[in-house]
Amino acid sequence: MQLTVSTWNINSVRLRLDQVGRFLKERRPDILCLQETKCPNDKLPLKDLQAFGYPFVVHMGQKGYNGVAILSRYPFSETSVMEMCGRQDARHITVTLSREAKAAAGLTIHNFYVPAGGDIPDPELNEKFRHKLDFMAEMRSWGSRAKPTAGPAILVGDLNVAPLEHDVWSHKQLLDVVSHTPVETETLEELRQEAEWIDAMRVLRPEPEKIYSWWSYRSPDWAAADKGRRLDHIWLSKGMKDTLRSIDVTRDTRGWERPSDHAPVTAVLEL
């Protein structure tokens, strides 16, 4: 069977419910993982999301900030969340697909929203940047302790780091900019490699191809300038590498009316 998984920082699911519906209608992924839903659980537009053809929805929300959700055509046998860095700030949710998912049964999906880190790349001067580094350190510890890639698993999310040279429009100009500083890129690659996650995008579309999933709102002509960064990722457990058939960024969504500054990333697997 084919399984299609998408991840998208939606930057308010209520504000961009129409955009979510349009994407789901056009791309029809089996599973959509959202970040930055920006609403508490009781304010999630659950019935609207289910009406798009996704009856199984889990959400960990927070008023006005953060928030992660997973929409699925298949039911879950398990769901769980981690409170990263001792904070209840809705940055993680995990599901395992039930036996009704057929060949995908038992597949675990981890949805993360890593802190952005503010503007100053110095943990002594910027608490937000310190929190980001602490968050990634906790992800690294979790990978070592929990062995999430021991079975079939996918890790997705807005990881807020563009780890490789060609994941940004200018490697040299962004070395001192949060999301591409050496301490961030090295930490993310170390935690990925230590846990034996596979960066799905770069399996099929290796460097030096430039790939972005985020374009700043500050750039009025974002498409022409194309000063993007690849902040949104899909990782596969080591045993799933050979199931990957395609992966892409739906760049067009960045040009829709009232868009998110992120575009969805979608992977197709053959299980």
Domain 2-270: give its CATH architecture. Answer: 4-Layer Sandwich (3.60)
Residue 139, helix vs strand vs coil = helix
User: Listing from the earlier edge strand, what are the strands of the sheet with 197-199?
Assistant: 76-80, 92-97, 108-113, 153-158, 232-237, 197-199
Binding residues for Mg(2+): 9, 36, 158, 160, 261-262
Catalytic: which of 30, 89, 158, 199?
Answer: 158
Q: Which pLDDT value is given to residue 217?
A: 96
What residue spans define the domains of the chain? 2-270
Q: How confident is the model at residue 140 (pLDDT cuts 50, 70, 90)?
A: very high
pLDDT tens digits along 33-53: 999 999 999 999 999 999 999
pTM above 0.95, yes or no: yes
166 is known as an active-site residue: no
**What is the distance between the alpha carbons of residues 125 and 174, in angstroms, rounded to a whole number?**
19
> What local confidence, expressed as pLDDT, does residue 120 receive?
98
Q: Closest Cα partner for 205 from 247, 154, 237, 266?
A: 247
Residue 113 bears catalytic tag:
yes
3-state helix, strand, coil in the chain (%, to 5): 30, 25, 40
| Average pLDDT in the chain | 98
Q: Is pLDDT of 220 > 90?
A: no
Q: What is the spatial distance between Cα 126 and Cα 117, in angstroms, rounded to a whole number?
A: 8
Q: Dig out the tokens for 249 from the structure.
A: 């960024």
Is there a catalytic annotation at residue 217?
Answer: no
E-strand ranges in 84-211 read 92-97, 108-113, 153-158, 197-199
